[in-house]
Structure 1
Amino acid sequence: MILSKIFSSFTFRFMSGYVAGLSITVFLVLAAIYTLISRDYFTQVHNTIQQELDALTETYQEGGASAVEKFVDVHAGPDRLIRFFFLVVDENYEPIAGNLDRWPDPKQYRDGWLGFDLKLLSGEWDEVGTEFVARSRTLPTGETVMVARHYADVINSAKLVSGALTRSLVATIILGIIGGAIVAGRLVRRIDDMNQSLNRIMSGDLTERVELHDSHGDFRRMAVNLNKMLDKIEQLMLGMRQVSDNIAHDLRTPLTRLRNKLSDLQQSSNEPEKVQALIDEADGLLATFSALLRIAQVESGNPRSGFTEIDIKTILLDVIELYEPLALEKEQQVETDLATVPATRGDKNLLFQAIANLVDNAIKYTPDGGRVMVRLWAQQNQIVIEVSDSGPGVSPAEREKVLQRFYRVEASRSQQPGNGLGLSLVNAVVKLHGGSVQLADNFPGLRVSLRMPVQ
């Protein structure tokens, strides 16, 4: 898993591209070095053969064959690092002097260079061959002198240089990939830590902060700035919630007194219907403030302390039993598909209220004679609760917005009473349990899925 993250990370791809570019650069540099070394080496070969040829020519012209034999003894001895071979022949290419016993069958190359293959013994047991490079010169008297050099040392030197350069290139690529993987692995771990912190923050824990690593650098500065931004967001969110919560708390008491006085007034009023309408309005306002305070209670403090082991299936059956009479009044069909799921930990009352809100909305927005479906199943260590209806549904553009406080779909404002807090409470409760809310089309209608991990 970690390897797939490393290899798919931007850092590894960047390092791979960097290593590829570096490898190409190293290859070009090594190729240039090889070219320069080869040119210098072949220049040295050319110069040494040319010098030996000039010396052999001068020796033969001054002292004849006997001088050549002495020259060969000195210049072709076993103590020489470079193995030279000498030959002087007459007009018919018959040997006159030298340490080659015959004139080879050479190939002619540019600038008077000769090449031939010949296996010979330079000593009693010292076999040399078979590749030689040579130069020759025809004297005014008709003789031809030739100096040959064993070519194996040239080839071996070229192979040695090219092998060293090739190994250097391979080492650069391998070390670059390993270094890129190590750097990418460290960055992936840091980014994973930051993502985990950000996921907990997005789940509602505004007290979470990005961990500051010991090292100094860009990541630390970014983490510091993120934490400063989160501090500011937390202050703004707490301030906004505090204002709404204070308003709800402060107004609920006078509204309760107003509602009680209206109830007393209704008994002595000549128009009890009008007073009842006022009481209903007061009840709606009280329900709104109660929902606001309930959401504030869920989103703040430490409500997880009340978690106990619960059976989701039992909660669903209780909710369905509660709302079946309401569905029968509208001649709606409530269908269930409840699988047995693992027991989990949670707040039974909060989950009951959240699921009740979903079933209530489904029945409320489904037309008479419609269909409501409640499903429950377990999937990959998750519990999935799904409530679907055959009502008007919610457009894709508004599915995220309906989870916000007080947001209501425009078409539903005149059709059904409400305050736009039902799904907000559902979202807060599910997030408290580490889950998520997903809205989708039911063709027709809306399908709401609650996904919570088994805790």
Structure 2
Amino acid sequence: MRAIKAYRKSSSFVVSFVFTSLLMFGVGFNSYTLSVANDDLLIRETEAAIQADIGGFRSLYNTAGRKAVIQAVEDRLQSYSNDFLYFLKDSDANYISGNLASWPEDNVDFVKNGLLEIRVELREEYRSEQSSTTRAVAMVMEFSNKDTLLVARNVQDIEFAVALAQTSSWVMIAILCIVAIGSLGVAYYVVTRINKISDTADAIISTGDLSDRLHVDSSWDDLSKLTLVLNQLLDKIEQSVHAISLVSDNIAHDLRTPLTRLQSHIEVINDDEEKQQLRKECDNLLGIFNSLLRISDIENTSKRAGFALISLTDVANDAVDLYLPIAESKQIEVHSIIEDQTPILENFYGDKNLLFQAFANVLDNAIKFTPEHGKIEIHLTSHNKQIVFSVNDTGSGVNAQSIDKLTRRFFREEKSRTTVGNGLGLSLVSAIIALHDGDLIFEKSHIPSTTKEVGGGLCCKMIFSVA
């Protein structure tokens, strides 16, 4: 079972999607900045500033005359930096005022709407330490007395700022895209690793193989550290389970011999009734120990020496034939529907004796807990490379809370305590089915119960998948 079935439903994806959306918003904003921070915008802003300046000088000349214009130019040169450039000359081209060294004659290019792109040199008193030559955009205005004023704006600093903004925007876009892709990649990595951990854990639970471990392919991330801790936990669990199994196996081995000797001593007792009771108790104890050792042998060694191509149809029919007289003695109605002449059933790879024992144990349970005049239905079917052996009964069944406990060793419900048995039959069935890579499922029977017991009948299904 995968922890996260759909990547888009994971919390990692949701978080990465939110961050990616915010980052994409940042990319869009920077893209907009790039689109507006261009040469056209520079020209428009410069043109508007120059025209506003020229408009002010024209109004000043019309109202106060030439001296006012000269004074205004001088005042601006004192208060402004070298962003605005001026050159005022008379009709004879003589210098009157301004911070330009000369009237531009060369390196003049027409831009648009009367704008000129010029390269000029500043007067000595206005030169900076970096350079005396600057590039500017200018417009020319002529007054009524033939004086001519050139108003220009230095665009080098503005162009540098625009270029810096564009470069910063491109860098920011690249960083945001990398972060967005990285966040999605991290989310995908986290989901993939979690699913790997979940799949391995599910396989351990399904197979009961506590020797399996979670794969660790790195050591730098937190999930790898979590995997290492989980592997250590599995080591502890495996050691504990093995110790418990070893204790029970040792007990079974150690007590079986004295019980056998006890059986031989019972034979010399003269009281037949007492002898029969003691022999029955010894047989029951020996049966428990033999069952425990058998389960341990199947679970721990997973022996497949007896595996061969067998007919499941024959195995099921033999089990039904064995228990049919017992069912008839309790007047239990048995309906058996077993497929035959099916290749998947006639060529099943497994241990015939173990499977017969599993089928027999389930049938024995069904007959044991089904009252007189009850019903039992037995089905052996195959479909899409899957084999199902099911037994439905109208017995007392079990409570819903106890279904998951049925395969535990020695587990018996309180209402079943008076019934003959030791609580190991279904544990042995579970071990046999696990050895054949199958699944053992318990659910409520579909046959209406003929008793007033709580829980209704029980359905036991053995499911085998054939490759």
TM norm. shorter chain > 0.5: yes
For the Cα contact (< 8 Å) 2:23–2:180, is it kept in 1?
no
Matched, 1:448 2:451: no
Task: Select the residue among 339, 356, 367 that pairs with 1:363.
Answer: 367
In structure 2, what is the Cα distance between the partners aligned to 1:76 and 1:369?
123
Residue of structure 1 aligned with 2:377, choices 373, 380, 400:
373
2:202 aligns to what? Answer: 199
Q: Write the mapping of 1:51-200 to structure 2, written as runs, cut at 5 A.
A: 51-53=53-55, 79-80=108-109, 82-85=111-114, 179=182, 182-200=185-203
Distance 1:302 1:446, change over 3 A: closer
User: C-alpha offsets along residues 67-125 of structure 1, whole Å, 9 cap, x if unaligned?
Assistant: 9xxxxxx9999953642339xxxxxxxxxxxxxxxxxxxxxxxxxxxxxxxxxxxxxxx
**Would you say how many aligned residue pairs link Structure 1 and Structure 2?**
392
Whether the 8 Å CA contact 1:76–1:83 is kept in 2: the answer is: no
Deviations 1:422-449 (A, max 9, x none): 1111112212222222111115300111
How far did residue 179 of structure 1 move?
4.5
CA RMSD of aligned residues (A): 4.7
On the 8 A contact 2:410/2:424 being kept in 1, the answer is yes
Matched residue, 2:440: 437
Matched, 1:275 2:278: no
Match of 1:47 among 46, 49, 53: 49
Provide the rounded CA distance (Å) in 2 between the counterparts of 1:10 and 1:348: 49
Instruction: Structure 2: give runs of 5+ residues left out of the alignment.
Output: 62-68, 70-85, 95-102, 116-138, 146-150, 152-161, 447-455
Q: Counterpart of 2:304?
A: 304
Match of 1:130 in 2: none
Determine helix, strand or coil for the equivalent of 1:440.
strand
Distance in 2 separating the partners of 1:425 and 1:222: 35
Counterpart position of 1:208: 212
* CA 85–364 in structure 1, closer or farther in 2 if over 3 Å, else same: same
Within 1, Cα distance between the matches of 2:114 and 2:319?
Answer: 107
Q: CA deviation at 1:183?
A: 3.9
- Output one character per residue of 1:368-404: Cα deviation in whole Å (capped at 9) or x when no partner: 1111111122344332221111011111111011211
The counterpart of 2:352, out of the listed 339, 348, 354, is 348
TM-score using structure 2 length: 0.69
Q: TM-score, normalised by structure 1?
A: 0.70
Partners of 1:291 and 1:425 within 8 A in 2: yes
**Matches of residues 250-261 of structure 1 in structure 2 within 5 Å?**
250-261=254-265
Q: Measure how far apart 1:335 and its partner are.
A: 1.2
CA distance 1:355–1:209, shift in 2 (3 Å): same
Residue aligning to 2:77: none
Q: Deviations for 1:1-56, whole angstroms, at most 9, x for unmatched residues? A: x9985445443333223212322344456667878889x95654432332454567
Equivalent residue, structure 2, for 1:221: 225
Partner of 1:417 in structure 2? 420
Is 2:36 the partner of 1:24? no
Take 2:51 and 2:324, find their aligned partners in 1: how far apart are those partners? Answer: 110
CA distance in 2, matches of 1:351, 1:310: 10
Question: Offset of 1:63 from its aligned partner?
Answer: 6.7
- Stretch of structure 1 that moved more, 75-84 or 322-331: 75-84
3-state SS of 1:296 partner: helix
Change (3 A) 1:81 1:403: farther
**Residue type at the aligned position of 2:21:** A
Structure 2: distance between partners of 1:177 and 1:367:
68
Is contact 1:5–1:188 with CA below 8 Å preserved after alignment? no
**What residue number does 1:323 align with?**
323
Tell me the SS of whatever aligns to 1:374. Answer: strand
